[in-house]
Amino acid sequence: GRGGFASPPLPMGGSLFDFEDLEEAAPAESTWEATAWRDPTLDSNRYSALPMTEEERERLTVPASAVGEKLRPTLKEHGVAIVTGVVPAEELASLEADFARDLAELVDAEALAGAPEPVRLAHARFLEGGPAAFPPLTASQLTASAGFAVARCLSHGRFAWRVRRHPGVHAVFRAIHREAGADRLVTSLDVTLFTPAGQRPAESNSFSAHVDQNSHDVRPGLGDCESFQGILYVWPSGSRSSTTVVWPGSHRSVWPEMMRDAGSYARGALGVHYSGVGEMADRARARALAAGWARQARRAVVPAGALLVWDSRTVHAGWLGGPRLAQAVCLEPASRRSECHRLAKLRLAALGLPSTHWASVGMEHDIALGAPGYLCRLGTEMSDCGSAGVILPLRPAIRPAALAPAADVEALRKLVSVDYHLTGLWEPPPGVEQLLEASVRDSCRRYL
């Protein structure tokens, strides 16, 4: 179910963006074994990647109806899969409307009364066209990196929580973890991914190829467990859109090499799972892997309603260039999640702060460390920046969907500034359990 926080629909039309051109196939001759493409160097810190061809995409595609038989073998071989039909086509417009309501709640409607005409017109276009018509310059105030909506509680809106609890998403991760005997799954609180239609396609991106699992991680159970993460695509991802770049098969061949690097040992000692090719201590080996990435990595081509899933040991990176509306999500067996991490996740849910991809660990996203979340007091003033676009007036944050109606918000303020150990981890002090339990809706709390 949706829980108790559904809101009445706003007068918003369908998407203004024509997504048909996102379905263009990449050149048919491409294969990820032997394609020569622009060879990046670590010095330039830039790379280009081809979109998947139809043949490459079919190799990774698993229909939602076949996850029980085909998903784990596909992930074992390639380290990545595209699960189609996770969200029915007839439900996608409703999901997009949820995100439109999240964005509309964030706009300071009262301040619009005296706004310059370009600002008011931009807001009107958004109300008519939905998230695709949201001003790109305004979107840049809400996001970081490859469109990560880490600010103003957008990763805790109606949209994000609907995806986290969606039965289709749960069916996929239940199939992944079936050998673990998972009778109940808990969710991550990872970021929403959003770039509106005004975001231009890109020919290259900053080089950020990495893996999200470190075999030397000092946190118990994280270095050697099976870890899979995903992104649910509401808008399709094609050759002219933001997406994820993946290196199929790298979880078997490249990850072990990266883990032999001295840099991986050092990061693991700090409890850091993120391990980038560009951060390797062995620069010669890093250059060789960067060249391999240039030849064999592919921009994921994902249809609307599909879930891109990959092994956290697979080398991947975000690609910013063109529109995207998607939700990062990971589900893991509840048996992996300790009581300490459950309480840490309750804090994130109540304050509207994002986590990393782990579902079993209450690790606050490193981009958001120290952020006040829902208790932020500073909004954003409107601005007409001429040819650069407009910035709509923004409220400090939306109310997190998981925050209980009767939550003591002022009491939660003492949990905004906390001491972290390792990276983004918080140990709840005695006496906060009752406050945290009362601060999160039951309809969300049981998923944490």
Within a domain: residue 212?
Answer: yes
The one-letter amino acid at 23? E
What is the crossing angle of helices 167-176 and 67-78, to 10°? 60
With 0-12 / 13-18 / 19 or more C-beta atoms within 10 angstroms meaning exposed / middle / buried, residue 120 is middle
For 168-202, how does the pLDDT look when each residue is reduced to its tens digit (9 = 90+)?
999 999 999 987 666 799 999 999 999 999 889 99
DSSP 8-class letter at 49: -
Vertex 205 angle, CA 203 and 210, to 5° = 140
Structure tokens given for 231: 């992104």
As a whole number, mean pLDDT of residues 364-372 equals: 88
pLDDT of residue 182: 67
pLDDT of residue 370: 86
15-24, 290-299, 436-445: range with highest mean pLDDT: 436-445
Sign of CA dihedral 135, 140, 143, 144: positive
The CATH number of the domain holding residue 410 is 2.60.120.620
As a whole number, mean pLDDT of residues 300-321 equals: 97
Within a domain: residue 330?
Answer: yes
pLDDT of residue 34: 38
As a whole number, mean pLDDT of residues 57-62 equals: 98
Within a domain: residue 22?
Answer: no
The one-letter amino acid at 153? C
The one-letter amino acid at 448? L
Residues in a beta bridge with 319: 243
CA 357/CA 212 separation, integer angstroms: 8
**How many structural domains is the chain composed of?**
1
Mean pLDDT over the full length of the chain:
89
Within a domain: residue 13?
Answer: no
Query: Residue 256's domain spans which residues?
Result: 46-446
Within a domain: residue 331?
Answer: yes
With 0-12 / 13-18 / 19 or more C-beta atoms within 10 angstroms meaning exposed / middle / buried, residue 334 is middle
As a whole number, mean pLDDT of residues 56-61 equals: 98
In the predicted structure, residue 262 carries a pLDDT above the cut 80: yes
Distances from the Cα of 337 to the Cα of 94, 188, 254, 334, 448, angstroms: 32, 11, 29, 5, 9
CB 75 within 8 A of CB 301: no
Within a domain: residue 33?
Answer: no
pLDDT of residue 276: 95
In this structure, the strands spanning 228-233 and 324-329 are: antiparallel
Within a domain: residue 28?
Answer: no
Within a domain: residue 70?
Answer: yes
Provide the CA 207 distance to its chain's centre, in angstroms.
18
For 141-172, how does the pLDDT look when each residue is reduced to its tens digit (9 = 90+)?
999 888 999 989 999 999 999 999 999 999 99
Neighbours of 244 (CB within 10 A): 25
For 26-39, how does the pLDDT look when each residue is reduced to its tens digit (9 = 90+)?
333 334 443 434 44
The count of residues in the chain is 448
pLDDT band, residue 431 (cuts 50/70/90): very high
Structure tokens given for 128: 């008519």
In this structure, the strands spanning 205-206 and 228-233 are: unpaired
What percent of the chain lies above the pLDDT cut of 70?
Answer: 90
Name the pTM for this structure: 0.90
Structure tokens given for 280: 């390797």
